[in-house]
Chain A
Amino acid sequence: MTERTDQKNIDHDSAGLLSLSATTLSSLITGRQVAAAEALDAVFSKIEEREEKLHCYITIDKEGAYRRAKQVQEDIDSGLLKGPLAGVPVAVKDNICTKGLRTTCGSKMLEHFVPTYDAAVMEKLGAAGCILIGKTNMDEFAFGSTTETSAFGPTYHPLDPTLVPGGSSGGSAAAVASGEAFAALGSDTGGSVRQPATCCGVVGCKPTYGSVSRYGLVAYASSMDQIGPLAKNAADCRALFSVICGQDHRDATSVAAVEEKRNFDTFDTADLKGLRIGALMPGTEEENGNGTWKAVSETADRFRKMGAGVSACKTEFDDLLLPVYYVLAQAEASSNLERFDGVKYGYRTKDPMGERDYHEMVKRSRSEGFGSEVRRRILTGCYVLSEGYYDAYYAKAMKIREKIREAYDRLLTEYDLLLGPVMKDPIPKIGESLKDPFRMYSGDLYTVAANLTGHPAISFPAVKDAEGLPIGLQLTGRYFEEGLLFAAVEALEGCRENSN
């Protein structure tokens, strides 16, 4: 083994390592100032300390992680592995298939399901030298925005255990925020990466539809699902995105454009000069009691100081976003979840009635295996697709969706970026949303547009409220311009560091 470089500047205790970003950690690991196993030690000491209370993970694979760290270290030492995320311990949402490691989707239905293959993003993380720590908690089948509908119990907010961490990728967001992982993957169908990232004070990105292969992602609403990174800062998000993006013949909706347009590496924060940003200012300051309004105007000022032009803009169809989204998402979900029949994999009823008749077995398996929120959405989905209602709901929603897409395209020819809120209300208390799911649905107001239109969007912590809880905002960009989103958030991060 060759010599290790100068170690005097690195704090090797776990607190020291955990304070590092994923890309900084990796540069120290590839520079052989820190061992891959040391980074894992730090993460597992944090898990030891906090996991019992936070419940970020459904499954932790400690043995596999150390085995993998040994291999990664060998590849780094022999010069095979050099990438910007080599040796980084990561967490992955439990709806992304991991070969040989159970993948539950937060559901009793898949409690014992062990995939026989890796999702495309897992292959890519593996090739980049990332080390999987475990599978993170989520709302059952990603149906929710608080991580409370998980069949394995909720995840708690890292800063305040009486609050939810957001969802549905709440486990991933809480893991990154608490130091139980250096970075994570989630999936975003209506805000499920951006909203928990906002709650937990980390950066989360929903990439352009089609830029990341969903081979091995358990489907929710296929016309909107995208896998996205959650990380401590925009640079880490950029690095993770550049690892996972790209066309894949196993996902017919993945596109080559993202590879042609790998400009997400070349955008410079200096490019913000002359940038046109449209600020979405919902309602008035009084109406937005959670400080979001103030956050938008303060962030707009920061952008202006960097030379960008910011003006207020309005979106159309705001009232229709949620109805359109929920009609389409539930329709697609009811169709996607039809595959769970108690035959090929997943839960099968033990009820004797189910042993006598096939159809009874399927119905009972599904009714017992799915939680109440999943059953509710399947029923609505079937309703809007059923004869006599299809045109009034599903077909109409598809039509309006196209109008929404056109309206956002028009806006994004006028502006380079759209700045706006992520959340309508303050972070919910544990238990609050389960009592009234409709209130939870209305909380998705600002995030669903990017899923309906396919545009990329990133959420980032902007300010803190009086209690010290993070308030996040969102930037939406043109198709495949993730690079500009990362650069803009990086510029804001830099501006915040300078003012501190």
Chain B
Amino acid sequence: MKNDKHTNRNTDMIEKISILAQLSLTEEEKILAGEDMARMLDFFALLSAWEEKEQDPVESTDVRNGGREAVPGDSTVGAEETAGRIETTKTEITKITGNILRRDEVTNEEAGEELMANAPLQKNGMFVVPLSISAGYEEETGDGEN
């Protein structure tokens, strides 16, 4: 039931997404992609259903009792030590998220030719691409000379 709904929705959806993805898909590929997308969204179902709520603290159970009896870790930790550790963790996270930035400058100008060597098509040090304005435009304006 849910899958059917997904499949129908996705047939149209794939058309739109393939434009965003800059991919050209054959009719057969579109059908397959629609099926894949439906399965993918099923795979994400728990995420869609998730709602924010207060989480319970992590439980700890002793492995040697078959995981039945809840006991603290073998080596007991004082509240102070735990608080200290939480503080340390916070500092570490700040360190992780603190990005380093640099000026946006060209530093390898001289490597231009080398870099261009990987281009599929180039002329006089410039990338060669097909027309990016549609041929229809030329016809309409009669400006086909350029």
CA–CA, A392 and B114, complex, Å: 44
Question: In the complex, which of the residues B47, B60, B102, B118 contacts A345, with contact meaning CB atoms closer than 8 Å?
Answer: B118
A399 within 8 A of B: yes
Which chain B residue lies CB-closest to A330?
A: B40
Question: In the complex, which of the residues A348, A355, A415 contacts B73, with contact meaning CB atoms closer than 8 Å?
Answer: A415
Contacts A357-B134, A367-B24, A478-B89 hold; do A279 and B63 have CB atoms under 8 A apart? yes
Contacts A359-B132, A478-B92 hold; do A403 and B61 have CB atoms under 8 A apart? no
Q: Are A414 and B23 in contact (CB under 8 A)?
A: no
CA–CA, A117 and B111, complex, Å: 10
Chain A contacts for B14, CB-based, 8 A: 379
0/1 interface trace, chain A 364-388, chain B, CB 8 Å (1 if under): 1011001000011011111110100
Q: Are B50 and A320 in contact (CB under 8 A)?
A: yes
Question: In the complex, which of the residues B37, B50, B73, B95 contacts A379, with contact meaning CB atoms closer than 8 Å?
Answer: B37
B144 within 8 A of A: no
Q: Tell me how far the C-beta of A403 lies from the nearest C-beta in chain B, rounded to whole angstroms.
A: 7
Q: Tell me how far the C-beta of A464 lies from the nearest C-beta in chain B, rounded to whole angstroms.
A: 22
Chain A contacts for B111, CB-based, 8 A: 116-117
Question: In the complex, which of the residues B17, B75, B115 contacts A309, with contact meaning CB atoms closer than 8 Å?
Answer: B75
Q: Tell me how far the C-beta of A421 lies from the nearest C-beta in chain B, rounded to whole angstroms.
A: 14
Q: Are A310 and B63 in contact (CB under 8 A)?
A: yes
CA–CA, A493 and B55, complex, Å: 38
A326 within 8 A of B: yes
Q: Are A327 and B47 in contact (CB under 8 A)?
A: yes
CA–CA, A255 and B91, complex, Å: 13
Q: Are A311 and B60 in contact (CB under 8 A)?
A: yes
Q: Are B99 and A319 in contact (CB under 8 A)?
A: no
Q: Tell me how far the C-beta of B67 lies from the nearest C-beta in chain A, rounded to whole angstroms.
A: 5
CA–CA, A367 and B118, complex, Å: 20
Contacts A322-B43, A343-B127 hold; do A382 and B20 have CB atoms under 8 A apart? yes
Q: Are B115 and A116 in contact (CB under 8 A)?
A: yes
Chain B residues within CB distance 8 Å of chain A: 13-14, 16-18, 20-25, 33, 36-37, 39-40, 43-48, 50, 52, 55-63, 67, 71-75, 77, 82, 85-86, 89, 92-93, 95-96, 98-102, 108, 111, 114-115, 117-121, 127, 129-132, 134-135
Chain A residues within CB distance 8 Å of chain B: 112-114, 116-117, 208-210, 247, 249-250, 252-257, 274-276, 278-279, 281, 297, 300, 309-316, 319-320, 322-324, 326-327, 334, 338, 341-348, 354-364, 366-367, 370, 375-376, 378-384, 386, 392-393, 396-397, 399-400, 403, 407, 409-415, 438, 441, 454, 478-480
Query: Can you name 19 extra interface pairs (CB under 8 A) apart from A359-B132, A414-B60?
Result: A116-B108, A116-B115, A255-B95, A276-B73, A310-B63, A311-B60, A312-B67, A320-B47, A326-B44, A341-B22, A343-B127, A344-B118, A344-B119, A345-B120, A358-B131, A366-B23, A380-B40, A386-B17, A393-B48
